[in-house]
Amino acid sequence: MKYILPSVTVIDPRSSHNGQTVDIAVEDGAIVAIDANLEAAGATPIEGARGRLISPGWIDGRARCGEPGNEERETYASLSQAASHGGFTHVVLMPSTFPVRDSRPHIEALESATEALATSFLPVGAISKDMAGVQLAEMADMYAAGALSFSDDQHSIDQAHLLQLALQYTSDLEVVIQSKAHEPGICPLGQAHEGAQALSQGLAPIPVLAETLRIQRDLAILNYAGGRLHIAGVSSAEGVEMIRKAKSQGLSVTSDVCIANLVGTDRDIQGFDTRYKTLPPLRSESDQDALWAGFMDGTIDTVVSDHQPMDEESKNCEWGLATFGAATIEHAFGWYRHKNSSHEGLERWIEAVCHTNREIYQLGACVVRVGMPADLTVFAIDGSAEGLKTRGVNVPQWTQNGRAIGTILGDRLSGF
């Protein structure tokens, strides 16, 4: 297959073509030419890309799928469509399914079930068997089958020794162990950020202390055990500062912030709209300001959708009974752009979702240049994504200012 992406403007800080408006020719799944006014005999122009912006394909660093076990929430096919609609060519997929993805056959089954989809799913294996937090899962076997990382997702690793063993066991595999920045023991009934909104609505609080206690513990274990640790879902000013200090001390730690925490605050929970019931919870404006500062200066390495699609029964109920989580993968970029419409903010997004995620998961470089695979996202920095592809009913309604136009992964084109 041979095609041309005409008059696209490259946004890629690592490319020599950054900021240039060019034609990009693709043949057999690879970029074969980049220049102004290309003429390639037999090539099909992709008119939907004309005049748009283009970057390396975006990677969502954390998302979930209902399949297997809860297909009413999301299937592989609907998640692939939603991810492409949001501009993502790859999705790092959490192991929290039924059954839990905690063995080699589960990793292999995911690859077999999704190989024909427009989006590539990058499997994360469970740290513990059945994510029960008691016994290590078969991490070496899962790694050999293609697992890129290990996490018990929203199931906190309460046993400190288990996290120590996981870090030590995988140190030779050079993969990251992910730990959620949340200590449930301090707020077992918590429903919302500890602040004026939770108090006025009578909701049990989730204090910032729940985050700082867990980050403090996990960094201490990392310092003792070695390995590579990824702190998932930093949501507070204190959390940002702890990670900044750990990096200055040379610890091998990376972290992410959920898009919901960059664009929403606890003001959004007024009226008990369960679409805004997330974990980590939407916190204060001062916490959000610190998250933005930490993301922009690189203390927080990347931003993730933290996509958690839910069905009617799980969300259309009273707040205390509703499941945590929001379906976010389709609008993450538009929400981000509404909060930060600067060119610096745009390049920081590209650096994080295109390059940093590839480094965290050791996927190899992907730069807009001749010879690289055609792994590309075409997008606009105005407008809103129209329609929904996700099955999740829990999509927040924040304002958008940008949208994906289409994705390209080899010869698989979506959205054009």
Task: Please tell me the predicted confidence (pLDDT) of residue 184.
Answer: 96
Under 8 Å CB-to-CB from 210, ≥6 apart: which residues?
182, 183, 184, 186, 187, 190
Q: Label residues 99-135 b or e (16+ Cβ within 10 Å = b).
A: ebbbbbebbeebeeebeebbbbbbbbbbbbeebebee
Task: Please tell me the predicted confidence (pLDDT) of residue 80.
Answer: 98
Check: CB of residue 38 under 8 Å from CB of residue 4: yes
What single string gives the DSSP state of each residue in 207-244?
A: -THHHHHHHHHHHHHHHHH-S-EEEE---SHHHHHHHH
Mean pLDDT of the chain: 97
Q: How far apart are CA 57 and CA 374, in angstroms?
A: 9
- Which residues form the catalytic set? 306
Please write the tens of the pLDDT for every residue from 347-370: 999 999 999 999 999 999 999 999
Check: CB of residue 296 under 8 Å from CB of residue 240: no
Q: pTM of whole model > 0.75?
A: yes
Largest CA distance in the chain: 67
Cα–Cα distances in Å, from 278 out to 42, 65, 180, 307, 308? 50, 16, 13, 10, 9
Q: Give percent above pLDDT 70 in the chain.
A: 100
Query: Which region, left, alpha or beta, applies to residue 227 given φ > 0 means left and ψ of -120 to 50 means alpha?
Result: left
Q: Label residues 331-344 b or e (16+ Cβ within 10 Å = b).
A: bbbbbbbbbbeeee
| Residue 202, Cβ density class (10 Å: 0-12 exposed, 13-18 middle, ≥19 buried) | exposed
Q: Which two tokens stand for residue 343?
A: 């060119």
Task: Please tell me the predicted confidence (pLDDT) of residue 118.
Answer: 95
Please write the tens of the pLDDT for every residue from 196-240: 999 999 999 999 999 999 999 999 999 999 999 999 999 999 999
Task: Please tell me the predicted confidence (pLDDT) of residue 41.
Answer: 78
Query: Amino acid letter at 133?
Result: G
Query: Amino acid letter at 224?
Result: Y
Task: Please tell me the predicted confidence (pLDDT) of residue 156.
Answer: 86
Please write the tens of the pLDDT for every residue from 150-205: 999 999 899 999 999 999 999 998 899 999 999 999 999 999 999 999 999 999 99
Under 8 Å CB-to-CB from 115, ≥6 apart: which residues?
none
Task: Please tell me the predicted confidence (pLDDT) of residue 39.
Answer: 83
What is the assigned CATH class of domain 58-364? alpha beta
Task: Please tell me the predicted confidence (pLDDT) of residue 63.
Answer: 98
Domain ranges of the chain: 58-364
Q: Label residue 289 by pLDDT band (50, 70, 90).
A: very high
Please write the tens of the pLDDT for every residue from 80-127: 999 999 999 999 999 999 999 999 999 999 999 999 999 999 999 999
Number of H helices, E strands in the chain: 13, 18
Please write the tens of the pLDDT for every residue from 319-349: 999 999 999 999 999 999 999 999 999 999 9
Task: Please tell me the predicted confidence (pLDDT) of residue 42.
Answer: 84
Element (H, E) at 10: strand 2-10
Task: Please tell me the predicted confidence (pLDDT) of residue 400.
Answer: 98
Q: How far apart are CA 211 and CA 282, in angstroms?
A: 13
Task: Please tell me the predicted confidence (pLDDT) of residue 349.
Answer: 98
Check: CB of residue 158 under 8 Å from CB of residue 192: no
